[in-house]
Chains A and B, each alone.
Chain A
Amino acid sequence: MPAAVTIKTLIVDDQQTMRSLIRTSLHALGITQTREAPDGEEALRNLLSAPVNLVITDFNMPKLDGLGLLRAIRAHGPTSKTAVIMLTGRADRELVQRAVQFGVNNYLVKPFTTQTLKEKIEAVFGPLT
């Protein structure tokens, strides 16, 4: 049962709006250690310099997309055990299946509520305190 405040999170989305929304929701859940990156590449660089517990990433992004990021995270020893929650649109069932192959921990359909986000995170880490 991890304390929310201990979960270091990296938010990856090419849209500032989405990043802000996720951040706001996370903060509301007590997850205050958040960082942000606008694309997979930047996220990877960020992760390599300072690891996190959780990556919440969009799928469709310029440069390196969510799947690419996921694969890179899993392939690199120090980051391979980072939890990854993928953001998807409704139409992305195939994508979710591919993400599962590459080892995603959960998914989150846009748009989402703070409550949904909480459920998804708790499904990965167990109940937040």
Chain B
Amino acid sequence: MDPFESIKQTFFQECDELLTDAEQGLLAMEAGDADGETINAVFRAVHSVKGGAGAFGLEDLIRFAHVFETVMDDLRSGKMELTDEVAKTLLRAIDVLADHVAAARDGGAVDEGRSAPILSEMKALIGGEGLDDDDLGGDEDFGFVPMTVAIEGDDAPAFDPPALDESPAAFEPMADLAAEPASGARVWRIGFAPKSEMYAKANESGLVLRELARLGEMDVKLDADALPPLDQLSAETAYLHWTVLLTTEADEATIREVFEFVEDDCVLTIEPADGQASPPPPSSDLSDDALAAASADAPLDIAALLARVAGEAPTSEAAREPASAPEPPADLDVAALIAKAQAPIAPAAPKVEAAPVAKAAPPAGSSQAITPTATIRVDLDRVDRLINAVGELVIQQAMLSQQVMESGLARSSNVALGLEDLELLTREIQDSVMAIRAQPVKSVFQRMPRLAREVADMTGKRVKLVMEGEGTEVDKTVIERLTDPITHMLRNAIDHGLEDPEGRIAAGKPAEGVVRLRALHRGGRIVIELQDDGRGINRPRVRGIAVERGLISEDAVLSDEEIDNLIFQPGFSTAETISDISGRGVGMDVVRRSIQGLGGRITISSEPGKGSKFTMSLPLTLAVLDGMVVTAAEQTLVAPLSAIIESLTPRAEDVHFVGGKDAVIRIRETFVPLIDVGVALGFRETALPPGQGVAVLVESEGGGKAALLVEAIQGQRQVVIKSLEANYQQIDGIAAATILGDGRVALILDVDALVTTQHRRKPAPRAEKRMAG
């Protein structure tokens, strides 16, 4: 790839991070808990986006970012007050900025209907200042001359002792002084006497003079009178000064600008040539050099160095420019920076050095440094190989334990005890390895504030999204598949759950609705809750629709909870008008299916007038499965625990046959299909006689319930999932395989497929349909 193109890709990746950072900063600002550094961080992020955009000539992006940046700059400098309105405008602006970035990346265009109003709003905030087009980008000449440096050979950083500087040879004396000055030109006498500090900052008088020569014709006189005999010469001292007669049309200010970089470190006089002033003697002030020399022997302790800069800065600054030097604003205070930087730099710094730094630091709390976590990037394949190997280890360990047990060794024997330790260790390794794949749900959560704002805008509702537990970790694959369900649920919560502001006020609630998105670990699973304080589920309506759609019979008796859960039925929608936002009523059905696809469950609880709460519970990883080990037709099988609702022993009188063939079982007034697993998988021809075996009531991803008939339940176990497709071939009704402790392969049931197959073969009766009686 073209290196430029590849940098551009890097830029867009970086933009994503910058936008996320900026959004988080803005959210903190909106919540009112943003300090100066937060505002500066947002500024920096927007500034960086603009900077990169400038490098790639992304004009639209630059223009938008520029205005945004100006607002942030005004906020940062205190010129503008951070009000709630400003924060809200900026939050919308960051969304549009993201759109601009996306458009620049994908070559599309930004919706001007969205972008233009926000741009005007921001321009209004800053009073249209500094927004001329030519204000963007480009090199502005502040009109001063750079300080110059000499390089010697390969040794960095080399420096020419000023007194021995040869560079004045670079400009020959302009001999034509006698020539008529050009019209409007004047002759200036310039006295230039560098101090040693000027050289200490890597400047070179020769190059300054060369810059001066560009202004016109000049005659240079070197005064080397101060130069001592060679044996007394100090390389650090400035001995030379120059008198320049410059013929130029430039005014004094322009001439002075040439010295802008060095003015503080030299004695400079500029006057019309008829003036009498002569250059002052060179300074022999060595204070900075003495300091530098002293520090040369100091150990390379950055904390100490930083501390010293902090301590030294005020005095040296005062000495350098007593009156005019503006005190750097608080956010640039080096002492504060050092306090922040201290922890990461030198955690083991001697107390003697740490103490003065601590003193220089601003009140504690704001300066709490967070040590950055060191990270490495590893190819996902490698992690998966490791996880696989650990899976094998777990199986091997279980097999070994079982063989030792069977061999009749006493539990107290050294071998058995050693095995126990091994088991603990193995589990620990397994957990650690799983943790490698784990990522905080933040990557999903962080997209939600924007979504909430957009949906609120489109529906005219007011919403505040509160997120908790973004740091909760879960397997990468789970995270990747969480975005869609959460997105859908959030849309639903705002679109259907929340009332409009008027409705809320009428109901005695604040106009702004609150939606809480929360993640937490519970019982080895991750639980994600989405709670709104809206109107709650309208049960009579839900029930009415369910009857209308034939989901339930008119006289069915349902608990509140059961009615609430009807919204997960395929094709169910409560929106009076189908909106663009929440789709066409497939939403919650799809949500449930994707959650179940991850081995999870979703439930809803709702209180009319107070709001609803959706709770999703998901496994932390997809590599390990919590399973129920069962026996069917002498085969050992595993049913995913997440699908199992309950298990029961069927009584013969509860089993009925529809059409004399397909069995159904009555479970508390509901009839569900009874599937003999042994038959369904082709292990045997005839089903177990009624009244024998154990029925496991399962709920498929599609929402259909069924009872799986097996001979016995062995117990609950965590199993490592092995792909059957990769090792053998796909089999209907089987999701995967695992290896049990005794070394046998056990197949993991694909509950969804088993139930659907059954449904296809036998359309009636509907699993959810209650039968009278």
Contacts and interface: CB of A to CB of B under 8 A. Distances in A.
B442 interface: no
Contact of A98 (B150, B295, B328): B328
B293 A125 contact: no
B309 A75 contact: yes
Interface residues of B, number: 85
Contact of A116 (B69, B139, B211): B139
Given A7-B151, A101-B264, A64 B55 contact: no
A67 interface: yes
Interface in A1-47: 2, 6-8, 14-18, 20-21, 24, 41, 44-45
A118 interface: no
B665 to A, nearest CB: 62
A62 B261 contact: no
B667 interface: no
Nearest to B325: A101
Contacts of A68: 306, 309, 332, 334, 337-338
A109 B341 contact: no
Nearest to B317: A101
B181 interface: no
B157 A51 contact: yes
Contacts of B305: 44, 48, 72, 75-76
A42 B509 CA distance: 52
A16 B10 contact: yes
A75 B291 contact: yes
A38 B297 CA distance: 27
A22 to B, nearest CB: 10
A90 B52 contact: no
A96 B136 contact: no
Interface string A59-70: 011111101100
Contacts of A49: 300
Interface in A91-110: 91, 93, 96, 98, 100-101, 103-110
Contacts, number: 211
B423 interface: no
A86 to B, nearest CB: 11
Interface stretch (B141-149, B384-392, B448-456, B623-631): B141-149
Nearest to A8: B156
Contacts of A112: 55, 139
B142 A96 contact: yes
A75 B308 contact: yes
B302 A45 contact: yes
B182 interface: no
B17 to A, nearest CB: 10
A44 B295 contact: no
B149 A62 contact: no
A53 B151 contact: yes
Contacts of A104: 147, 261
Interface stretch (B196-204, B356-364, B535-543, B652-660): B196-204
B302 A53 contact: no
B344 A41 contact: yes
B135 to A, nearest CB: 7
Contacts of B55: 17-18, 21, 110-112
Given A6-B151, A126-B207, A62 B41 contact: yes
A60 B465 CA distance: 31
B322 interface: no
B51 A53 contact: no
B52 A123 contact: no
A103 B154 CA distance: 24
A17 B4 CA distance: 10
Contacts of A123: 145-146, 148, 207, 211
Interface string B268-301: 0000000000000000000010011111100010
Nearest to A22: B55
Contact of A67 (B7, B200, B306, B328): B328
Contacts of B170: 126
Contact of A60 (B43, B302, B308, B309): B43
A74 B159 CA distance: 14
B148 A125 contact: yes
A124 B295 contact: no
Contact of B202 (A41, A64, A93, A105): A105
B7 A65 contact: no
B326 interface: yes
Contact of A91 (B40, B70, B294): B70
A60 B44 contact: yes
A78 B159 CA distance: 11
A26 to B, nearest CB: 13
A107 B142 contact: yes
A15 B146 contact: no
A17 B3 CA distance: 11
A91 B291 CA distance: 34
B334 to A, nearest CB: 5
A71 B148 contact: no
A89 B201 contact: no
A109 B211 CA distance: 20
The 4 closest A-B pairs by CB, nearest first: A111-B54, A77-B296, A106-B146, A77-B292
Interface of A: 2, 6-8, 14-18, 20-21, 24, 41, 44-45, 48-49, 51-54, 60-65, 67-68, 71-72, 74-84, 89-91, 93, 96, 98, 100-101, 103-112, 116, 120, 123-126
Given A2-B150, A15-B52, 14 more contacts: A15-B51, A52-B156, A75-B291, A75-B305, A76-B305, A77-B292, A77-B295, A81-B157, A89-B51, A91-B130, A98-B326, A107-B142, A123-B148, A126-B207
15 contacts: A17-B48, A41-B341, A53-B149, A53-B156, A53-B158, A68-B309, A76-B292, A81-B200, A90-B140, A91-B73, A101-B320, A105-B202, A107-B142, A110-B54, A126-B207
